[in-house]
Each structure stands twice: as structure tokens, then as C-alpha cells.
Amino acid sequence: MNKLVYLLLLPLASASHARSSLPTAIDWPESAALAHPAASLRPVHWNLVGERTRRMTVGRAVPITVQADIAKGWHIYSLNQKPGGPIPLRIQLLGAPDVIIRGLIDAPKPERLFDNNFGIETELYSGSPRFTIPVGVPGKAATGTRKVQVAARYQVCSDKLCLPPRTDSVGVTLKLARP
């Protein structure tokens, strides 16, 4: 992984050494963006599939699906990516403490490829994979409204470059009722 960080930072360091003085805090973002446009690139956008407000029954689970729209030439790694390489995808719920993932996340079958950057076989997604999360609240939970963020932590790479891991989230509102 150190090799990949080096590849990401090398163009930024080269640009700063080419200048007659060190960059200041004010001009660093501009010079970094000009030296390496991919440094500010966001090749993955997460979206909620369906309505932003969901009705659910207390004590039961409701499926919530999110989609990762991944730019051509880029990929993210699977939920089950083995250690020793890239950062695997992790999906969690943030917000209301009584709202939990109840079961396994349904994910598409990942593509398996040997990755020369990491020197291991990787499991990856490209295109627009969808992930369905079974979301529920305990049977004793109070009715009402819960605002939740579905957070995805991931690492995105191309065949030549990996960007630092990041977390993106999408919001959903749950309206809880008794059976």
C-alpha cells in the first residue's frame, strides 16, 4: 500500500519542488489540483434507491437499497475483500441507536482479479452495483420517526492509482408503526 500512497503523492511533491518557494496554506489546494487533477476527483457517488421516507413495522425488517455509481475505469472492493490489500467496503447505519442492520447485506457477486498494485487477488465492483441492507428496530422500540444515514466506507482505485479511503452517506427517514 505504501507504493500506492507514494504514487498518489509523487505528482503533488514534484509540483511543490518545482516552485521557487514552498507552497503556502493558501495556494496548496490550487497547486495540488493543477499538479494532479485526480487528487480532487470523486469517481464514486452513492444514491438511495427508492423513496427517502420508508414506512416500517416495529420488530420487522425493511430492505433499504443503495447504489454506488462508479466512474468508468474505477472500482471499489467487496464487503468480503481479504486482508492484506485494499480497504474493503463497509456499510453501516448512523443516527438512531435503535435502528440496526438485521441480517446480511445483499450484494452482487464481485469480479475477482489479481491486482498488481497489491500483489493479491481482489474482489471488486465497477459500474453501478446495488447493496440491499435489511434494516430493523427491536419490537419494544417506540413508534415515530427515525432519521438514519447509510454510510459506506470504501477505497476506490483505477488500474494505476488508488485514492485514500473515504466515507460517504445517504439519508433515509423511517416512520415506525405498530403491527
Provide the residue-wise pLDDT of the chain in tens; the chain has 179 residues: 444 443 444 344 333 333 333 333 333 333 333 344 444 589 999 999 999 999 999 999 999 999 999 999 999 999 999 999 999 999 999 999 999 999 999 999 999 999 887 899 999 999 999 999 999 998 888 999 999 999 999 999 998 899 999 999 999 999 999 88
Q: What CATH number has the domain bearing residue 102?
A: 2.60.40.1250
In the chain the first and final C-alpha atoms are separated, in Å, by 50
State residue 4's pLDDT score: 44
Q: Please check whether residues 36 and 49 belong to one and the same domain.
A: no
Round to whole Å and give the CA distance between 30 and 15: 11
What is the 3-class SS of 71-90, one letter each residue? CCCCEEECCCCCCCCCCCCE
State residue 56's pLDDT score: 93
Q: Please check whether residues 64 and 124 belong to one and the same domain.
A: yes
Range of the domain at 125: 42-177
**Burial (Cβ within 10 Å: 0-12, 13-18, ≥19) of residue 172:** buried
Q: Please check whether residues 51 and 139 belong to one and the same domain.
A: yes
Q: Please check whether residues 27 and 54 belong to one and the same domain.
A: no
Q: Please check whether residues 93 and 156 belong to one and the same domain.
A: yes
Indicate the pTM of the whole model: 0.77
SS3 for 39?
A: helix
SS3 for 127?
A: coil
Q: How many domains does the chain have?
A: 2
Task: Find out whether 54 and 173 touch, Cβ atoms under 8 Å.
Answer: yes
Q: Please check whether residues 92 and 30 belong to one and the same domain.
A: no
Q: Please check whether residues 158 and 76 belong to one and the same domain.
A: yes
Q: Please check whether residues 82 and 111 belong to one and the same domain.
A: yes
